[in-house]
Structure 1
Amino acid sequence: MNMQSIMVRRNKVVVEQGQSSLSEVLLATATKNLEALGFMFSPELLTELRTMEDSQFISFYTKLIPILKNAVGAHVEYKPMYPNFPTSVMEAEEAELYLNAIIHYYTNLLPFEEKRERFPLFEKTNLRMLQLASIKDFYQIIRGLISAKTSLSATDQAEVLWSIRNSSDVSTVLPEEIPMKETIAFVVATLLTEGKMNVNEISHYFKTATDVLRLAVALSEGDVSLAGTTKFKKFKRSERRFLLTLLDRMKNPTEDMLKYKGQWIRLGEILHPGEYKNNFQNAYQAFTIIRNNETFPTFSSKVEKALADSNLEEAVRLLSKRPGELARRLDHLLRLSDLPEVVINPFREVASEVSTAVLLQVKTHFQTRNSDQPIRVIFPKGNVAKAVGIENQLPVIPENICLAIVDICEKVLIERFSQLPPLGKVYIEPSLKNMNVPFSQRSASKTLKTLVRGSKFEIPEGNTIRFFTWWKQGANERIDVDLSAMLFDENFLFVDHISYTNLTSTKFRAWHSGDIVDAPNGAAEFIDIDIPSFTQNGGRYIMMQLYTYTEQFYCDMPECFAGWMMRKHPGTGEIFEPRTVENKVDIAAKSRIAIPVILDLVERKVIWCDLSLTNHPQFYNNVEGNLPSTTLMLMSMTSLVKPNLYELFRIHGEARGTLVNEIDDADTIFAMDQGITPFDLEKIMSEFL
């Protein structure tokens, strides 16, 4: 990783201004090569590049190209089983395909097929424009990530950590405030480990016992979301004293520690608080209580007792002391109450203390509370990208009550946003209604286009979807990754699949490039699906899937990624054409099944999933063995309702400016490809939430 790779992920490039004049031939050649990868220089960037000496530009170019190749997946060689795919699969008899597969399974040999000359790519593509950026822009991006009010992805965290480690002055990247607890943990752990700041300079970040636990987890390179268990390292004596000092300063750490009792007990075995009981009596007492299972009344136990005693007013009174918890439990409380004002009025009084993210989620929930969606979707906390779909059995809450909650949230948000700098005249592109707000990117994968789960965007022009995957195994084990596509009709009924067990569809024009089961030097698989043949025969949804047949987790593989292309003329160009790649995602979750995207071909929308599933142990890990769970996943993701960017920006616009209908009249633009876009996640997370 380097500064340039961090910026390229945002379609920006940092260049040093030159004092010469660049050869036009050299610049034109480089520009042509970039086009083959699907990129181009912006006019401002071209102007800056022209000031470089030839040697300076060559150095810049040779560093940039590998980054761009990696971004689209062009850094590896693609050798599918049938090098003339899709033609060779289309022309082969079923028996021939079967025999070729059997021979490969027993010998690892691929069918002999001389590669035919392919006609050059016969279609125009939309190039990604690389914009000019400065080192100052780089620092702003990193500060934006650290300032984000939501969790960061592993890729974002890695970029922050690289920037801290390679910064001679951390004040250039550190903001005045770090609002997200998880971010505090890994940032402070890095500052301490790298010797960038001392303990006195960072102690003010820690407000609760859980903050201290997260720091201990971060120092041990564990999961700072605390969703999983951590094997704590053997801390130095100075580190033990520092952690105990932070904990001892907390007014009442015991209740907070009980939330993660098991992890605190394991941490206590490392910290040995008994050795310091005279110095840190508060911390020692808290450890003693949790270790000895002593009775300790907690806030949650008091709330649950009040609810068990049917004392709703007491439960609401208690929860009002913690407005965020009250907001999250509104639905449950309203279902218990015969007098909704007992719940609504206290919420109105404390709503201004609830975070923006929670208010937006509560607002959206009650706006769609009584919809007839059959499925409710739940995303469990943690680093693995999973979704759980459950039947929607919630009883109806009267619409006037739902609207009262929505109105409270709206008024509080408008008042809050009105305190921010004015935006002037604001234009918001309607398509942003399909783009979700980035509340949690914790388990988001590294992608060419960074998106939020459940977001929907237009499928580009073209008649053929081409899925692809590439993976490589380690030196001592075989890894077999299988690319599959499941096809459903508009009623979510399964109609067909394309996989290693079904290379050619008998119902539609769809083909698989062949099942490769060994990848010491890397292996690739492709799937082509002709859209008209699918939709004209009652098809609607296509779910892209990857399975590890050999049962390894993706996170344990040297490399695995997947993506999709839109091809207008699939018989032209190479099988893998970088400039036709719509998105590429690194598959690295602790899972064995990945679902990158779902395509709705009737609405011509891509539904971004970036999800992972576990396999059912009683079945082979393939498409047939996971049919029930994937059908549920399809229904869940297509019915998912989350706060969208249009609503978020609309409230900002009303609070901070004037909404206009024409983009040319606007001072501030929110759109898919102009002004502030859905891909400016660090800006959205730090400045608009």
Structure 2
Amino acid sequence: MPHDAVALFVPLVVRHTCRLPVPAVPAAPAAPAAPDEGGAGGVDGQGAVLARQFDAALMSVGFKLSGELLARLSELPEAPVRELAAGGLAAVRELLGDHVRHNTYFVDFPRNVPDTEEFWGRLLAELIGAEEEDEGEQEEAAEPFDRFGGLDLLALPGYGRYRHGYEELLAAHEELIAGAGDRVTVLHLGGAPEREAETLYLALAGSTTPLGADALRDLAALARHCADGPQPAGIPVRENRAVVNAARLKAGSGLLPVDTVTDVLRAACALADGDATLATPTRFGPLPRPVRRALLAALDAVVAAAPGKLADVLRHRERFKRLGERLHPHEYPKWPHAAQVFAVARGEQRAQGVDGRVEELLAAGEPGAAAELLAAAAPGKLLRALDRLLRTARTEPERAAVTAAAERALPAASGRLLLSLREHLDNRRSDEAEAPDGAGAPGTGRRVFVNRDARSHVTADLRPPLPATARARLVAALDAETARRLPVDPPRLLVDPELLDVALPLSGNASAAGLGVLPRGSLQPVRGELLRFFVYWKQRERATDFDLSALMLDESYDNPTWLSYTELSSVAGEHSGDVIEAPEGASEFINLRLAKVPGAFIVPQVNVYRGEGFAEVEESFFGWMLREDEQRGRPFEPRTVRMKSDLRGAGRVALPLVFERRADGEWYARWLHVYLRGEPVGNRVEGNRVTVADLLRAGTEPTYLTVRHLVGLMVANGAELLPWDGPAPDGPVTYLGLDHPEGLPEGSRVITPGNLRELIPA
């Protein structure tokens, strides 16, 4: 494998698995060790020395080498250890957000942060002093008074731009004192880079749930080197299949099987470096003749086998027209069915699929017949339309027919769809106060929608309640079908209690890339005295101002207080000061003492005040740290980082998560991963607090399906649940936890948030 490919795979594998790929370099005979070196390995005794130095560097940022990895590195010569240490440390630092310099506007932050009025007064005094000192500069200095016909505080000289260098910041802060609660993440021994890359490729390609945008890009990078090799038994997610097929086409290999015309369109989009999810348009370029033949042959085969699938063209008519301009189907008369695809796209041929017939039946008042049709032709569509069909059914026999059709459709649906429907039913009101299983959410009267780009929208919930009997029957059927797909040979389970309230990753768009990131809806306890948020951004072409803020609300989502550039300090904490441009990168921080926070909710948010959006800047990320007051340290200390999440969504206001003070008085983090549209310019916490409160009311009260649900089904299936605080297991287990621990018996399977999707049955 080329050396540049190996260099690419190391950070990918570290980021996804916390494993360091180690090439199979033969170990040279060890030189005699000096008495005080403890048996240094490697050809010249330096391998072990470098390995220990690597371990110490990792510990300074909250990571450490596993004993097995440290021992393996100590056996290697100096050169490979040096290269692995450089690549591994760089990957870890990027995971944490420590690959950039985090400066603050106020050099002493969180100490000596001035009162807001005092700060503005100081800047005004500097302006007046500058005017008196140099009359020749009066016109330029007075500019802040002229903008918008009044005083623009943000244009005052010295505002929003660093007044000290990074070295001065370091000199102003004491060293961080190690704390018992500091995070320690273990980096484990991986195999040869090519083997680790292949394993990761198979895991991503065969995922049972859609990948996020970053993971999909990683799959595309891996597929360029692995698409010709071993393939997963199945690729159930269609955009994953498209990415793999695009790589195979570029390599001159054949397409993996496709069963819809949309699959072919997705592959063509991925081949053009476009959007395989079809969320955004793709510009198709010229295609080589072998690629054109492969795509047309695939289209022809799909339509020949099922002419009704021509109706799928109508959903993406314009894209198919553009693709047809590049495929030249008229040059290939041997594939007449492929030509029909583009005739439908141009409106020259009529196509009616299942959707049109279903609408006709519903218009005729026959929901039972519509459900029967979907059960036979499109089981997945039936389950997605189930709520509507049940609401449309007006008599008990009609509801019974819809429910029976849904039960017949369950075996043909994906595990992700089964669990998504189960979660949906958990949050639907029933038409009886006492549903048989006690379920039927009381409802908040509001619904929140989140699209592929994490853009959120809240609206009134005007749906009538579902029939309690049908709902309970469906919940039981869904649980039975899910349990049927779990392993036949029940594993021994060792489960970290803190993973039980982590939401199942039913969509890759429900989280973002980073460290310690959990799926939307997940709940995690927060233990520490000081909670510190941070945001970093680096503009690409235009002056860009991101503003970090923290909104605090009471139990009724009211009585707001906040910390932001307009409210630099309060009894609860401090803001590090506003930075209004980031040509070399910029950071802002908020420090909070949890015991003094008023209310029940803390909502950190990042507002785009002006300039480039989250998807336009060169880089942007958000995170939070926990530390104790006596630890001191710099504003950004990688050892204390609990979560770092990339900010790349659509919208001008980012809401990564919310912190809730629950009935037990303790604080918990709940992941949101949503963005608000916001305004083109001037977004501030004061202006969006009502929208944020409405979103919280609708978004924090629903029930999310969590790991606890699947563990319960596994135990009911016969799996042995080992006590978390019991003795070490004496044989292989399936370990479910937030991190991969050391010391598990050989042959154990490890499930962490990084590969939590593997729990979702196929």
Superposition TM-score, scaled by structure 1 size: 0.90
Hey, what does 1:467 align to over in structure 2? 533
Shift of 1:177: 2.4
CA contact (8 A) 2:107 2:172 kept: no
Question: 1:276-291 residue pairs with structure 2 within 5 A?
Answer: 276=332, 278-291=333-346
Match of 2:551 among 459, 475, 486: 486
Structure 1 residues 606 and 680: alpha-carbon distance in aligned structure 2, compared to 1, 3 A threshold: closer
Hey, what does 2:585 align to over in structure 1? 522
Greater shift after overlay, 230-239 or 73-82?
230-239
Match of 2:212 among 136, 148, 153: 153
Tell me if 1:71 matches 2:95.
yes
Q: Tell me, what secondary structure is at the counterpart of 1:504?
A: coil
Give the number of equivalent residue pairs: 669
Tell me if 1:81 matches 2:88.
no
CA contact (8 A) 2:208 2:761 kept: no
Q: Tell me, what secondary structure is at the counterpart of 2:106?
A: coil
Query: Structure 2 stretches of 5 or more lacking a match?
Result: 1-6, 31-40, 125-151, 429-439, 742-747
Shift of 1:656: 6.0
Hey, what does 1:614 align to over in structure 2? 677
Tell me if 1:372 matches 2:442.
yes
Equivalent position amino acid for 1:455 in 2: S
How many angstroms apart in 1 are the aligned matches of 2:162 and 2:228?
A: 56
Q: CA RMSD in A?
A: 2.7
Hey, what does 2:190 align to over in structure 1? 133
Shift of 1:660: 5.0
Hey, what does 1:8 align to over in structure 2? 14
Tell me if 1:458 matches 2:525.
yes
Q: Tell me, what secondary structure is at the counterpart of 1:37?
A: coil
Greater shift after overlay, 257-266 or 664-673?
664-673
Structure 1 residues 433 and 331: alpha-carbon distance in aligned structure 2, compared to 1, 3 A threshold: farther
Hey, what does 2:117 align to over in structure 1? 94
Shift of 1:678: 5.9
Equivalent position amino acid for 1:269 in 2: E
CA contact (8 A) 1:645 1:678 kept: no
Q: Tell me, what secondary structure is at the counterpart of 1:320?
A: helix
How many angstroms apart in 1 are the aligned matches of 2:688 and 2:756?
A: 39
Match of 2:711 among 645, 649, 674: 649
What whole-Å deviation, never above 9, does each CA across 1:96-141 have from its counterpart, x for those lacking one?
3454497873445647577564332134112111111213444322
Shift of 1:668: 2.9
Hey, what does 1:597 align to over in structure 2? 657
How many angstroms apart in 1 are the aligned matches of 2:211 and 2:418?
A: 20
Q: What percent identity do the matched residue pairs reach? A: 27
CA contact (8 A) 1:486 1:494 kept: no
What whole-Å deviation, never above 9, does each CA across 1:303-332 have from its counterpart, x for those lacking one?
111111112222122121122122222222
Match of 1:415 among 461, 477, 484: 484
Equivalent position amino acid for 2:117 in 1: E
Q: Tell me, what secondary structure is at the counterpart of 2:596?
A: helix
Hey, what does 1:40 align to over in structure 2? 64
Hey, what does 2:364 align to over in structure 1? 309
Shift of 1:626: 2.1
What whole-Å deviation, never above 9, does each CA across 1:505-546 have from its counterpart, x for those lacking one?
3xx322111111121221111111111111xx4x11111111
Question: 1:95-134 residue pairs with structure 2 within 5 A?
Answer: 95-97=118-120, 99-100=122-123, 105-107=155-157, 110=161, 117-124=172-179, 125-134=182-191
What whole-Å deviation, never above 9, does each CA across 1:210-260 have from its counterpart, x for those lacking one?
111111111122221112222222323443333222111123242121122
CA contact (8 A) 1:7 1:138 kept: yes
Structure 1 residues 427 and 64: alpha-carbon distance in aligned structure 2, compared to 1, 3 A threshold: closer
Greater shift after overlay, 576-585 or 327-336?
327-336
Hey, what does 1:394 align to over in structure 2? 463
CA contact (8 A) 1:351 1:412 kept: yes
Shift of 1:34: 1.6
Structure 1 residues 77 and 239: alpha-carbon distance in aligned structure 2, compared to 1, 3 A threshold: same
Equivalent position amino acid for 1:679 in 2: T
Greater shift after overlay, 227-236 or 514-523?
227-236
How many angstroms apart in 1 are the aligned matches of 2:633 and 2:594?
A: 19
Match of 1:432 among 459, 480, 499: 499
How many angstroms apart in 1 are the aligned matches of 2:64 and 2:155?
A: 43
CA contact (8 A) 2:542 2:612 kept: no
Structure 1 residues 240 and 528: alpha-carbon distance in aligned structure 2, compared to 1, 3 A threshold: same
Structure 1 residues 378 and 270: alpha-carbon distance in aligned structure 2, compared to 1, 3 A threshold: farther
Hey, what does 2:385 align to over in structure 1? 329
- Max radius of gyration: which structure? 2
CA contact (8 A) 2:607 2:652 kept: yes
Match of 2:313 among 230, 254, 257: 257
Structure 1 residues 442 and 232: alpha-carbon distance in aligned structure 2, compared to 1, 3 A threshold: farther
Q: Tell me, what secondary structure is at the counterpart of 2:94?
A: helix
Structure 1 residues 351 and 287: alpha-carbon distance in aligned structure 2, compared to 1, 3 A threshold: same
Match of 1:575 among 635, 648, 652: 635
Greater shift after overlay, 595-604 or 298-307?
595-604
Q: Tell me, what secondary structure is at the counterpart of 1:205?
A: coil
CA contact (8 A) 1:503 1:513 kept: yes
Shift of 1:267: 2.3
Shift of 1:627: 2.4
Shift of 1:447: 0.5
Hey, what does 1:477 align to over in structure 2? 542
Query: Structure 1 stretches of 5 or more lacking a match?
Result: none
Shift of 1:379: 4.3
CA contact (8 A) 2:115 2:568 kept: no
How many angstroms apart in 2 are the aligned matches of 1:378 and 1:245?
A: 42
Equivalent position amino acid for 1:567 in 2: R
How many angstroms apart in 2 are the aligned matches of 1:453 and 1:57?
A: 38
How many angstroms apart in 2 are the aligned matches of 1:563 and 1:267?
A: 42
Greater shift after overlay, 49-58 or 676-685?
676-685
What whole-Å deviation, never above 9, does each CA across 1:77-105 have from its counterpart, x for those lacking one?
1221111111121x556233454497873
Match of 1:502 among 567, 575, 580: 567
Shift of 1:38: 1.0
Structure 1 residues 376 and 51: alpha-carbon distance in aligned structure 2, compared to 1, 3 A threshold: farther
Tell me if 1:185 matches 2:242.
yes
How many angstroms apart in 2 are the aligned matches of 1:642 and 1:376?
A: 16
CA contact (8 A) 2:627 2:640 kept: yes
Equivalent position amino acid for 1:657 in 2: A
What whole-Å deviation, never above 9, does each CA across 1:563-609 have from its counterpart, x for those lacking one?
11112127711111111111111222343222222111344211122
Hey, what does 1:176 align to over in structure 2? 233
Structure 1 residues 78 and 659: alpha-carbon distance in aligned structure 2, compared to 1, 3 A threshold: closer
Equivalent position amino acid for 2:655 in 1: I
Shift of 1:466: 0.9
Q: Tell me, what secondary structure is at the counterpart of 1:80?
A: coil
How many angstroms apart in 2 are the aligned matches of 1:405 and 1:283?
A: 40
Structure 1 residues 516 and 649: alpha-carbon distance in aligned structure 2, compared to 1, 3 A threshold: same
Equivalent position amino acid for 2:758 in 1: M
Structure 1 residues 67 and 47: alpha-carbon distance in aligned structure 2, compared to 1, 3 A threshold: same
Structure 1 residues 354 and 85: alpha-carbon distance in aligned structure 2, compared to 1, 3 A threshold: same
Equivalent position amino acid for 1:529 in 2: L
How many angstroms apart in 2 are the aligned matches of 1:424 and 1:186?
A: 33
Equivalent position amino acid for 1:416 in 2: R
Equivalent position amino acid for 2:703 in 1: V
Greater shift after overlay, 112-121 or 137-146?
112-121
Shift of 1:394: 3.0
Q: Tell me, what secondary structure is at the counterpart of 2:600?
A: strand
